[in-house]
């Protein structure tokens, strides 16, 4: 099982869908700084579940549900993804957490986990992360993880993004 001191990374299952739908489709505060910069429609959410969430343990790239070890609640999503940025394929880690869990060091803990996992379990030599230039808290997390500025891009789907990288 993949986990840190305080969270587990679990495959999508039916008991988590209601909480995830609330996060992606109703939580304006959280979603304004991620993905589309707005909440998802029901159809967009269903497509995300189908395309981007891991369904089998042996799969390495896609979202997993972030579950609190202390209260067994879904508190967000996180995972590794293969994506093209700046005309090159990269491996990216990301996280989206319910605002009730912000400011507790969980994002840094999750980022540290993926950096170690990518290096030790997959054999990657670098990992990137992207962040909205206005998301000060997430930029601070990436700085704590000693990630360095790589570039910027703008996309129709995600808006303005800074790209940071770390050799691992």
Domain that holds residue 38: 2-167
Tokens describing residue 71 = 């209260």
Tokens describing residue 166 = 């770390």
Dump pLDDT digits (tens) for 50-100. 999 999 999 999 999 999 999 999 999 999 999 888 788 999 999 999 999
Task: State the angle between helix axes of 106-117 and 136-144 in degrees (0 to 180), rounded to the nearest 10.
Answer: 50
CA distances from 146 to 72, 121, 128, 151 (A): 30, 21, 11, 16
pTM of the predicted model as reported, rounded to 2 decimal places:
0.94
Measured distance between the N- and C-terminal CA atoms of the chain, rounded to whole angstroms: 22
CB 65 within 8 A of CB 74: yes
Split at pLDDT 50, 70, 90, the class of 26 is: very high
What's 15's domain CATH number? 3.40.630.30
Report how many domains make up the chain. Answer: 1
């Amino acid at each position: 099982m993949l986990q840190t001191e305080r969270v587990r990374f679990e495959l999508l299952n039916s008991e988590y869908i209601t909480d995830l739908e609330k996060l992606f489709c109703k939580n304006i505060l959280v979603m304004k700084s991620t993905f589309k910069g707005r909440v998802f429609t029901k159809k967009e959410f269903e497509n995300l579940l189908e395309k981007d969430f891991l369904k089998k343990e042996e799969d390495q790239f896609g979202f997993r549900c972030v579950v609190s070890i202390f209260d067994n609640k879904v508190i967000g999503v996180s995972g590794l993804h293969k994506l093209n940025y700046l005309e090159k394929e990269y491996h990216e880690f990301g996280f989206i957490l319910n605002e009730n869990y912000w400011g507790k060091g969980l994002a840094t803990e999750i980022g540290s986990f993926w950096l170690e996992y990518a290096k030790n379990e997959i054999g990657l030599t670098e990992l990137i992360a992207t962040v909205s230039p206005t998301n000060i808290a997430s930029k601070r997390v990436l700085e704590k993880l000693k990630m360095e500025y790589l570039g910027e891009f703008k996309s129709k789907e995600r808006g303005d993004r800074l790209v940071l990288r770390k050799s691992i």
